[in-house]
Amino acid sequence: MTIPTDYVPYRRKGTVLARPYVENEVLPPHVSVSDTDRAAGSPKVGDMIARNFNNHSDPPDEWLIAQAYFEMHYEL
């Protein structure tokens, strides 16, 4: 893989609160799901719903993380 010279790799050092998406769950409108993930069929079983660890607003800052991305980048 060739990385463009104006990009520098960064490693995640934060924590994310996450829970599994439940089959047939209706996500509230404040949960962000990217167009790319929607086009791939999300939300679906295996995806995770993440919540900003440092933001406890109401409604909370939440977003969907696709299963493959989550498994590649996160661990307990």
Distance CA 72, CA 25 (A): 24
Sequence-distant (≥ 6) Cβ neighbours of residue 13 within 8 angstroms: none
- Within-domain flag for 10: no
11 within a domain of the structure (yes/no) = no
pLDDT in tens, 9-30: 888 887 889 999 999 999 999 9
pTM, two decimals, is 0.83
Find tokens 């990385």 and name the residue.
Answer: 3
Q: Which domain holds residue 57?
A: 17-73
- Report, in angstroms and rounded to the nearest whole number, the Rg of the chain calculated over CA atoms: 14
Is residue 9 in some structural domain? no
How many domains does the chain fold into? 1
CA 12, chain centre distance (Å): 13
Q: What is the pLDDT of residues 47-62, one digit of tens each?
A: 999 998 888 788 989 9
Are the CB atoms for 31 and 52 separated by under 8 Å?
no
